[in-house]
Amino acid sequence: MKLKEWARMSPTEQGNSLAEIVAASRAPRNGQMAWADARVAAYEKQYGMTTAVMRAKVRAGELEDTADIAKWLMLAPKSAHT
C-alpha cells in the first residue's frame, strides 16, 4: 500500500487495512512456501551444508555458482542470509 492511499483513508479504513495485513501475516504458509522449504532442505542434504554455510562459501569463492546453487539462493528464506 502506498502512503498516499493510506493518507486518504479514514481512521476506520486504516484500522481495517492494518487488521487485514496482520491477519495475512499470521495465516498459515501456502503450498508454494512449503515446496520451497522442502527444496532448500533437499539442497542442504545434497550438499551437506546449511544455507548459511553455502552463502558464505559462495561469497568466499570456495563454491562454484552452478545452476543448483543459483536455484538454492533464490529459494532460501531471508532468515538464512548471513
Question: Residue 78 — pLDDT band, cuts 50, 70, 90?
Answer: low
Is 28's pLDDT higher than 60? yes
Output the pTM of the full model.
Answer: 0.59
What digits encode the pLDDT tens for the residues 55-77? 999 999 999 888 888 889 888 87
Q: How many domains does the chain have?
A: 1
CA distance 17 to 20: 5
Domain range holding 44? 3-80
Question: CA angle, corner 62, sides to 58 and 66, nearest 5?
Answer: 55
Q: What mean pLDDT, rounded, does the chain reach?
A: 83
pLDDT at residue number 79:
47
